[in-house]
Amino acid sequence: MISRKRFIIVGTFFLMALFFILYRLADIQLIHTESFSKKGVNLVQESVNQRTQEVVIDDGRGRFVDKNGESLRNKVEPSLVLFPFLKDITWPVEELSDLVNVSSYELKSRLQDSTEPLVLSSKDNVNLSNIDLEKINKLEIPGVFGIYRQSPIEETIGEHIIGITGENAEVLRTKYPDREDLSYKTQIGLTGLEKAFDEFLLPDEETKLLYHVDGDGNPLFGVNVKYIADSNPFYPVTVKTTIDKDIQGIAEEVLEKQKVDNGGLVLLDVETNEILAMVSKPELDRSAGVTLTNHMVQPLFPGSIFKTVILAGAIEYGLDDATREFNCNLNLYGESDGGQDDGMLTLARSFAKSCNYTFTTLAEELIEKDNNVIENTAEKLGLLGPVGWSGKVFHYQNFKQLPDERSGKIWGDEKDKKVQRAIDQTAIGQKDVKVTPLGVANMMATIARGGHKEQIKIVENILYKNGTNMFSFTSNLLEEEKISPLTASKLQKQLRLVVTDPEGTGRRFQTSPYEVSGKSGTAQTGKKNEQGQTLYNKWFAGYFPSSNPKYALVVVEMDTTSAEAGTNASFYDIVADLSKLNKQ
């Protein structure tokens, strides 16, 4: 009786196991053949792929160009394709050798070691012209093709702007549940513009050369190679950015030369409020997650840059008496600690020399008049953000061109508005004050335009494959209150005095080829280096030419000692290089 019971249990177990195996086989071969597992793997296609060798000419993903139509990531390059079955057949290698200026011995040698299609281009010292490609294809040699192939630009620029892509099947299926045509290997945008415009950039179909092989890699259906191309006249799209490739290159070279390894810059066109260049350091490295962050859209301690806000508030509230003097021998708390010796200064010279006591005094007086005056003034200047372009784009009600941008903040606790020392520290851009370099650039552009506030654009258009317009990004106003034209005019004079005053913190720029207006900033970060030295964020922000503003520029170096900062030198070099560029 017991043995019969055991037999039934064991038999039931084996039947259940057999049933599971049969179900699994049916699931693989009959039920979910085109969408297997959470990744949505197309098993039919994968089985074909195992017997296929291919050369991808274009992955079908949309691309990015600068404002002049220059590619920012990929280039189309004439290339020679040789399929590996050539080493097993007789073919006119000498004729090809004469055309491509590569010895027949070298061509055969490279083929002998290849198990996959061989693609040769300029990096392999195979330099081909349009005419060469035509001649190669007229030879009609099976397995030999002259093609234009999309390939990455060797010296990439604007990496934090464009961002990166990667494979993530689960995110792909969650984000695009209706796109069953997408392979689980489809690249999706992870950062930057690749992330923001991902849905527009998704590929329709790859353009490729392919042929089928048996288990040993030999041609399965002869030596016929198929050309598969995307016939859609509208996709892939092109995202036309506002970036100027030449200026972006200059910006990256300058920061490299001045050894700004941690920080970056933002350069705006004052008239259009478009980003011409943006650089974030450290350089993007996929293997180091921390480098994926674009620091130009992340809040940082601004230091004395923030005194611009206090000055604007003082002007708006009538506290800018030109004859009033402040005792700049006192520290920010109004104490005499021997650290300051600037004597009695007017408001104008206090701003030029960045006297802390003047602006802590004004901040206290402003708070007495209006508890929210500091944050309201920062909003009027377009500082706090988010300031990147946002609006309705097709079914997106709040599409953001810079989705990683974070808002700045001023107060960590509302109770601090009643604490004198907290007000004083806030007035000079410390305590809990953090703003983005993008926001600071926008503030300077707003002042340069006389108080007119707009969202910042980094993309102008999305274009269809045939060049027609899919969507244009209009200039959007920032709807909050703004400073008066009179306030803007007074701020312009004060920012210019920072440079023209013999003791101004921006006096270095007196010799710039363009007249510069701006403000410096030094903010303690609360960190120390290995030698125990205090680390700072060092800033210079402004616009130029002063009399007819064209550019607004912010340069910041993070976590640096004051003596080592390359901020001012970088700003100076950018101004000089733009002057040279505009004279060409």
Q: What is the pLDDT of residues 237-288, one digit of tens each?
A: 999 999 999 999 999 999 999 999 999 999 999 999 999 999 999 998 877 7
Predicted local confidence at residue 43, as pLDDT? 40
375 near 481, Cβ under 8 Å? no
Closest CA to 303 of 525, 26, 76: 525
Count CA within 13 A, CB hemisphere, residue 241: 29
Task: Return the axis-axis angle of helices 437-448 and 485-500, rounded to nearest 10°.
Answer: 110
For residues 578 and 225, give the distance between their C-alpha atoms in angstroms, rounded to a whole number: 51
112: number of Cβ within 10 Å: 10
For residues 155 and 248, give the distance between their C-alpha atoms in angstroms, rounded to a whole number: 12
402 near 386, Cβ under 8 Å? yes
Helix (H, G, I), strand (E, B) or coil at 475: coil
Predicted local confidence at residue 88, as pLDDT? 82
- Which two structure tokens, joined as six digits, stand for 407? 């808002």
Q: What residues are annotated to the active site?
A: 304
* Better-scored residue on pLDDT, 12 or 368: 368
Predicted local confidence at residue 562, as pLDDT? 78
- Which two structure tokens, joined as six digits, stand for 350? 């206090």
User: What are the start-end ranges of the H helices in 186-226?
Assistant: 192-196, 198-201
558, pLDDT greater than 50: yes
Tell me the domain boundaries of the chain.
245-464+473-583
State the virtual CA torsion across 269, 270, 272, 273 in degrees, nearest 10. 80
Per-position DSSP letters for 19-40, written without gaps between them:
HHHHHHHHIIIIISTTSBTTTT
Predicted local confidence at residue 205, as pLDDT? 80
Q: Whole-prediction pTM value?
A: 0.87
Predicted local confidence at residue 1, as pLDDT? 53
Sign of CA pseudo-dihedral 153, 154, 157, 160: positive
End-to-end Cα, the chain, rounded Å: 101
Predicted local confidence at residue 288, as pLDDT? 72
- Residues of the chain with pLDDT > 70: what percent? 90
Averaged confidence pLDDT in the chain = 89
User: For the segment 332-388, what is each residue's pLDDT rounded down to a tens digit?
Assistant: 999 998 788 899 999 999 999 999 999 999 999 999 999 999 999 999 999 998 999
For residues 10 and 7, give the distance between their C-alpha atoms in angstroms, rounded to a whole number: 5
Question: Residue 402: pLDDT band by 50, 70, 90 thresholds?
Answer: very high
For residues 501 and 349, give the distance between their C-alpha atoms in angstroms, rounded to a whole number: 8
Task: Return the axis-axis angle of helices 245-257 and 567-583, rounded to nearest 10°.
Answer: 150
Ordered strands of the 52-58 beta sheet: 52-58, 207-212, 226-228
- Which two structure tokens, joined as six digits, stand for 240? 């036309």
Predicted local confidence at residue 48, as pLDDT? 42
Radius of gyration of the chain (CA): 31
For residues 479 and 454, give the distance between their C-alpha atoms in angstroms, rounded to a whole number: 8
For residues 509 and 413, give the distance between their C-alpha atoms in angstroms, rounded to a whole number: 38
- Residues of the chain with pLDDT > 90: what percent? 66
Predicted local confidence at residue 52, as pLDDT? 66
User: For the segment 479-498, what is each residue's pLDDT rounded down to a tens digit?
Assistant: 889 999 999 999 999 999 99
For residues 341 and 345, give the distance between their C-alpha atoms in angstroms, rounded to a whole number: 11
224, pLDDT greater than 70: no
Question: C-alpha angle with apex 368: 365 to 370, nearest 5 degrees?
Answer: 110
Average pLDDT on 404-425 reads: 97
Question: Residue 401: pLDDT band by 50, 70, 90 thresholds?
Answer: very high
36, pLDDT greater than 60: no
Residues 6+ apart with CB under 8 A from 444: 268, 495, 518, 541, 542, 543, 552, 553, 554
Predicted local confidence at residue 179, as pLDDT? 85
For residues 524 and 562, give the distance between their C-alpha atoms in angstroms, rounded to a whole number: 10
H helix and E strand count, the chain: 18, 21
Q: 4-13, 175-184, 363-372, 394-403 — which is least confidently predicted?
A: 4-13
Bridge partners, 148 (sequence order): 78
Task: Give φ, ψ of 489 to 5 degrees.
Answer: -60, -45
Closest CA to 183 of 211, 210, 164, 205: 205
User: What are the start-end ranges of the H helices in 31-103?
Assistant: 43-49, 93-100
Which of the 8 DSSP states describes residue 428? T
Predicted local confidence at residue 76, as pLDDT? 83
Predicted local confidence at residue 29, as pLDDT? 57
Average pLDDT on 398-413 reads: 96
Predicted local confidence at residue 153, as pLDDT? 81
- Which two structure tokens, joined as six digits, stand for 49? 């792929």
- Which two structure tokens, joined as six digits, stand for 456? 């910042």
User: For the segment 500-537, what is each residue's pLDDT rounded down to a tens digit?
Assistant: 999 999 999 999 999 999 999 999 999 999 899 999 99
Question: Residue 2: pLDDT band by 50, 70, 90 thresholds?
Answer: low
CATH 3.40.710.10 fits 245-464+473-583, yes or no: yes
Predicted local confidence at residue 218, as pLDDT? 57
Predicted local confidence at residue 115, as pLDDT? 79
Run of H or E including 551: strand 551-560
Average pLDDT on 150-167 reads: 87
Burial grade of 374 (CB within 10 A; 0-12, 13-18, 19 or more): buried
Average pLDDT on 107-130 reads: 88
The residue type found at 337 is D
Average pLDDT on 224-241 reads: 82
**Alpha-carbon distances of 139 from 101, 132, 177, 208, rounded to whole Å:** 15, 11, 46, 20
Average pLDDT on 110-124 reads: 86
Residues 6+ apart with CB under 8 A from 358: 326, 328, 345, 347, 350, 351
- Which two structure tokens, joined as six digits, stand for 435? 């703003």
39, pLDDT greater than 60: no
For residues 228 and 233, give the distance between their C-alpha atoms in angstroms, rounded to a whole number: 15
Report which listed range, 30-34, 84-88, 297-301, is most confident. 297-301
For residues 151 and 463, give the distance between their C-alpha atoms in angstroms, rounded to a whole number: 21
